Chain A
Amino acid sequence: MKGYTVWFTGLSGSGKSALGNRLAQEIRKRGQPVEIIDGDVIRRSLSKGLGFSKEDRDENIRRVGHVCSYLTATERVAIAACISPYASIRNRNRDLIGEFVEVYCKCSVQECAKRDPKGLYLKAFAGEIKGFTGVDDPYEAPENPEVLVETDKETIEESLSKIIVKLEEMSYLPRVDTLSPEEEAKVIERLENLGYL
C-alpha cells in the first residue's frame, strides 16, 4: 500500500482528536497500519519544553510533520491532529510529505468554548492564558483543504463519512468488500431460489 498522512487542523475543541480516533478505527478495519500523532501528546513528549510563540508553534508542527513524513515513506498511515494555526508551516509539511490530505475542522470559537473539554477557553477568556488560538492568537484557516468538515453543524458520523469518501476517491483507502463464507452461502441459496442460477 501507499503511505499517506491525514492532517487535521482546527481550533482547540473543534473535534480533531475525536475524528482522528474514529478515522483510525476505520482505517485499521480496512487493513492499513495507522498511527495517531496527537498534538496534546506531542506537546508532552517530542516537543516538551516548547512554548506557544509563533516560532515554537512552527517548530512543534515541523517536528510532527517530520514524524508523519517518516511514517508515510514507510507505507503507513499517519493521522496528525494538531491545531497547526499557521498556513505556511502546514504547507511546508504538505510539500515535505507529498501524500497529504488536509482536513479542516471548522467550528466557531463559541461552539469550541461551549465544548471546552480541557477548560482552556474559560481560562483564555479570563486572561489566565495568553496567546490562545482563536481568542487572542490568530488561526489561519486552510484555503483549499482536501476535506472541510463543519463540526458545529455535522454529526461526527457525517464528518467521518466525508473524510472516508475523499480517501476512497483519492484511492488511499480501499473500499470494504467481500462477503463472509456464510453470507456467500446465503446469497447463493437466495439466487438459486429465485431461479437466477
Chain B
Amino acid sequence: MPNPSRTKSRMLVVSLDGFPQTDFEELRTSRVFRRIEARMSNIPSSPMRSIIPAVSSVAWSTYLSGRNPGGHNIYGFIDRHPATGTLCLPNASSRKGPAIYRTLGSAEVSVIMMNIPMTYPPEPVNGIMIGGFLGVDVRKIAFPASISTELLNLGYIIDADTSRVREEPLEFIEQLIDIVRLRCRFFRQLLAGNPWRFAHLHIMETDRLFHFLWHSFSDTKAEMHPAIMRFLDVLDEEISQVLDGIHDADEVMIMSDHGFCGSEREWDINAWLAEKGWLIWSEESNKGLKRIAPQSKAFSLPPGRIYLKHTPPDHNRHEMNGHLGIDSSCMDIIKELKTTGAQCGDHPIFSDVLPGADVFYGEYSCFAPDIIAIPFDGIELKSRMEPGPVESPSRMEGTHTLDNAIIWLRHGRVVSCRPGIIDLFPTILSYFGLFESGMEGRILAAWP
C-alpha cells in the first residue's frame, strides 16, 4: 500500500548515458556543471555499478525491471530468436518482468518517460511515454500517438547521425547540441503541461560523444576539446532549466547507466574461438549465425557472451540450445580465455570470465550465455560473424566500463555501499512508498 506521507511527492530522474562518475565529479567541482550543482545538493554524487554485460540495452532493462538479465531476458543488442535460432534484435517487447512505469502507473503515480533506451515500441502508460534508442520511426515513437505527431512537426531526432563523425567532428558536436536542446525543451513543455509524479528524461548524446570523441573529451589540449566543453555547458544549461520547472521539494536523481573510458583495443572472441578450433566458419555466402558451421562447438555474441552448441549439427536449422549448465567444454574455454593469449600489453584482456550460471538467474536464465567474459577497462569485446584478426586497434575512441556510473540525489542520501543500477527500481518505488520485499535490488537511499 502506498505510504500516505509520499502520496504528494514527485521525483524527476535525469540520466546521462554512459557518463563516468569520476569525470562528472571533476566537471562539477570545476564548475562546468555549476548550474546543475546550484539546484542539487552539496553532497557529491556516488559511483554506481552497471550490470553484466555493461551495455545500454541490458543496463536500461535492469533499471526498468529491477531484474538481472536472467529475469528480464535482455542480454545484449542482438540475440538468438528462441523459436528459430536466428539472430534477432530485442526491443521493449522482448523485455520481461515488471516495468517501473507500469508499477507506478498501477498505483496512480502518473509518469512522463522520455527517450529511455529499450522503451521502443512505446507502451500505453498512465501518462506519456516517448521511446528511446533502437527506436527508428518518430511517427511511432510515443504514447499517446498525438505526441509523435508533435515531435514529427518539431523535427525531433531519436538518435544522432554518427556516420560522418570522423570527417566532420565539429558538425557532429553541433548536432548533439541541437538534439539536447530540442529534447530538453520538449520535456520541459511536457512537465509543465501534464500531470506527473514520476518523470524521467534520458540524454543519449553523452554516450555518442564518448564513443567517438573520448580522446578529445579527456585531452584538454585536443582540437575538439573546446567544442566538447561547449556541449557540456549546453547540457548544464538545459538540464538546469528542466530543474527550474519543478518544485524545490521534488526529489531529483541524476544518474548514468555505465561508465566510460578510452578504448585501447578490440578483441574478437569469435576469431579467438576459431583460432582455437572451437568455432568453424561455414561458406562466405552464409550470413548471421549460419556463418558458423554446424560442427562448431561454441560461438559468441556481443558483448562477451559465449554459447556452447549442444545440439547435433543441423544444416537446415542451425538451432542453438540455450544454457545447459556448466560442462567440461565450458570450463575448458573459461580456463583458456583466462590464461592463453588473453593478454593486452601489460594487463589481461578480461577482468573475469564466468559461467553464465554464476551470473544470471531467474525465469529467463535458460536463454543466458554459457559463459560471460567481462573485459578489462579499455578493451572492446567483439563477436564478428566473419573471420578476422583476434586483436585489432579500436575503431572507437571510448568504450563502456562496468563500474563508475553515477547516482546523485537532491534530497535523499545514498546510504548503501556499492550501489548498483539494479537497486534503482526498489529505490524509486521506496520513494513512493511502494517497495515490496522480494525484489532483486536493495533500497539505496534514505529519504528526508
Interface residues of A (CB under 8 A from B): 155, 157-158, 160-162, 164-165, 168-169, 175-179, 183-184, 186-188, 190-191, 193-197
Contact = CB atoms under 8 A, between A and B. Distances in A.
Nearest to A178: B93
B107 to A, nearest CB: 13
Nearest to B394: A195
Contacts of A169: 102, 106
Report, nearest first, the 7 A-B pairs whose CB atoms are least far apart.
A177-B93, A161-B124, A157-B144, A195-B396, A164-B124, A183-B136, A186-B136
A165 B125 contact: yes
Interface of B: 55, 77-78, 89, 91, 93-94, 102, 105-106, 121, 123-126, 134, 136-137, 143-146, 159, 162-163, 208, 211, 302-303, 380, 395-396
A29 to B, nearest CB: 12
Contacts of B145: 157
Given A183-B136, A195-B396, A161 B93 contact: no
B89 A165 contact: no
A163 to B, nearest CB: 9
A191 B303 CA distance: 12
A187 B302 contact: no
Contact of B302 (A155, A160, A197): A197
Contacts of B303: 196
Given A177-B91, A177-B121, A165 B126 contact: yes
Given A183-B137, A196-B302, 12 more contacts: A160-B124, A165-B105, A175-B123, A176-B121, A177-B93, A179-B89, A179-B136, A187-B89, A193-B163, A195-B395, A196-B77, A197-B77
> Main SS of the interface on chain B?
loop
B126 A162 contact: yes
Contacts of B106: 169
Highest count of chain B CB atoms <10 Å: which of A157, A168, A197: A197
A160 B380 CA distance: 45
Contacts of A196: 55, 77, 302-303
A191 B78 contact: yes
